[in-house]
Structures are given as structure tokens and as C-alpha cells.
Amino acid sequence: MNRTVAFATTALYAVVSVTPGFAQSMDELVAAAEAEGTLTTIALPHDWCGYGAVIDGFKAKYPGIAVNELNPDAGSADELEAIRANMGNTGPQAPDVIDVGLAFGPAAQDEGLVQPYKVSTWDSIPDSAKDADGHWYGDYYGVMSFIVNTDMIDNVPTSFADLLKPEYVGAVALAGDPRASNQAILAVLAAGMSRGAEPGEAAAKAGLEFFAELNASGNFVPVIGKAGTLAQGTTPIVIEWDYNALAARDTLAGNPPVEVIVPSDAVLAGVYVQGISAHAPQPNAAKLWMEYLYSDEGQLGWLSGYCHPIRFNDLAARGVIPQEMMDALPPAEGYAAAVFPTLDQVNANRETVVSGWDQVVGANVQ
């Protein structure tokens, strides 16, 4: 472990053990969790957001607690179903914690599937990314970015407005079909925000107009962009989440060289959220897991997997992010302006984009 990280984490735990409203001290929570002896997670692939190292870090810190990992490839809906199906079951198939897409947090709360818990670093989680009572709270996010093949693009675009320039004819693609792909649907939202529209229906409409112009100019390529099409030159500029772009950068390993850009005129964040099952067989282990995830150490674990932890701005402001980790990311100031749309705004955008893409843009992305 990096010495800087270890110091910051230790200091945090010493301070937060008596945080107002935090019923147990940290020592009491650790003892209760170790008495339970197991934590059951679900849907945590080891190659997603650095989860493999995060789980290993938790086990190293608390060797008395086994981690029972259920169905790493499950989706958010599967996680909620696992809670429903195992109510009253204290066996190994009942998840203690979930990590789900933003829309699923409030849905789980409405159904009574999650219990409230405020981690000790609660105040440094943006209010817009958490339930006020602690039923769910944002864990990490990506921001919409451009990945650019610099073998083919001499002047790297730095904004959505740049993408409309004639020099990018036949160059710009989305990483999915905006009639079906959540990533592409939110790329339209980001484009609309770049024109000053409020997130939600207004930005969706403005984003559709943006892509209509991009398509009419010949700059838009109706091909789903990915690392292969980027390298081949079919889609030398792809709009996608930064963590996917950064992972693609690692995969390509300089062949071709690429740059990952956070656009200057719209920084849209896409959030996942954590929650503790209302029927968790090991509730104290679940709370300790949350404390670990939201400690500096846990947050940096996600960052090592290119997912921006929800407390990123706090970590950056306190200078606890190792320099080598920062060097692997686009500049931190680009993330300071990140906008976290509400669930209602996300849903309004999705409805408008999916229903309006064919009529307004008319490009069959595939």
C-alpha cells in the first residue's frame, strides 16, 4: 500500500469513530463484523473498477472476515431479485450489499429492499448523489469523454463544439446505439448540456439537434465505436465513458497512440450506487464494507480501475491521490465541474432520446 494512502486512511478512521449519528465506534463495528465472520457481495467482476484489488484490500485489512462473492456477472436487476428471493434466508445466497445503477437505488428503497446507513465520510459525498437518509449513495462515476486516435487526428478536439468542425468529417462516433445504449443515450444528454440546456428533456432535445447537425455535416459515423474501430480508423473519435476510454488506451498500448479528453463544454457524470440489503444476514460486515469502500483507501482502489470515486474532489483537494494515479487520468480540474443529473433528469433524457433519435437525427447506428 502506498504510504500516503495508508496514513490518510488511518487518520480518517481515528477521526470518524465518534462521528455524530454513527451509533457504533469503529472498533465496535469491526468486532461485530468479525463476529459475523462473512460478507456476501454480488455482481462485482474483478476487472470492473478495480474491484479485484478492492476486495483483496478488504480481506487483507480484515482477515477474520471471509468474502462470499455471488454471481460476478449479474446485473442491477439481478441484484435486487437476489434480495427478494432470499428474504429470511441467512445462508450464503443472500447478498449483504449491492452495487447498482443509479435508477435502481431509489427503486430498491421504494420497495423496502435496502436499509439506511451513513458512512463516516458521508459529508464528502455530493448531496445530489445520495439519498438523504442513507438508503443508497453514489460510489463511483465516469464522465463522458472523447477517445481520439492521434495517428489520424492532428488537432485533438477539446469540446463538443469542436466536433462540428469540418476537419472532423467522417470521424466522430458513439459507443452505442442511442436508441438502446445507456452510454450513448447519456452522450446525447452531454451534447445538449454543452449548449447550455438543463439536464433532462431540454438537454435531450438540444443534444438531438447537435447530433442532427453532426450527421448533416458528414462528421458523424453511424458505427458503434470501440477500441477496434478506433485503431482501424473507422471511428477515430469515439464519445464514451472515460473509464472505458482509459481502459481502451491501456489495451491499445500505444498502437495507435490515443488521447482521452474530458470536453470543456460539458462534464456529465454517470453514477453507480451502493446499498445494504434490508435483509442482510451480516449487517455489521455490510456496514464495515461500506466504511472500507468510502475510506480514502477504498476510493483510491476504484480510481486505480479508472472509475472516479464519488469523493474524488475531496481526495484531490486534500492531496491524497498518489501522483502516478493522477498521471494516468485526464487533469483533475476537468472533473471538478462534473454534473450529476437526478434520476428524473436521466429518465426524461432517456425517453426523449430514444423516441426522438430516428425522427430528429435519422442515423441508423449499428
Q: What is the DSSP string of 56-69?
A: HHHHHH-TTSEEEE
Which residues touch 211 (CB under 8 Å, ≥6 apart)?
178, 188, 191, 220, 357, 360, 361, 363
Collapsed DSSP state (helix, strand, coil) of residue 330: coil
Find the helix packing angle between 201-216 and 343-360, rounded to 10°: 30
List per-block mean pLDDT (blocks of 10 residues) for the chain, which spans 366 residues.
30 37 81 98 86 96 98 82 94 94 85 97 91 95 94 97 98 92 89 97 98 98 94 97 86 94 93 95 98 97 91 92 86 80 87 95 95
Are the C-beta atoms of residues 107 and 300 closer than 8 Å to each other? no
Distance CA 232, CA 149 (A): 9
What pLDDT is recorded for position 81?
A: 94
Distance CA 249, CA 147 (A): 8
Strand partners, 70: 42
What pLDDT is recorded for position 233?
A: 96
What pLDDT is recorded for position 20?
A: 38
Other Cβ atoms closer than 10 A to 196:
11
C-alpha cell at 200: 433532462
What pLDDT is recorded for position 10?
A: 34
Other Cβ atoms closer than 10 A to 143:
23
Distance CA 347, CA 200 (A): 7
Distance CA 322, CA 318 (A): 11
What pLDDT is recorded for position 347?
A: 85
Q: What's the Cα-to-Cα distance from 112 to each of 104, 195, 246, 250, 277, rounded to whole Å?
A: 12, 39, 37, 41, 9
Which residues touch 228 (CB under 8 Å, ≥6 apart)?
none
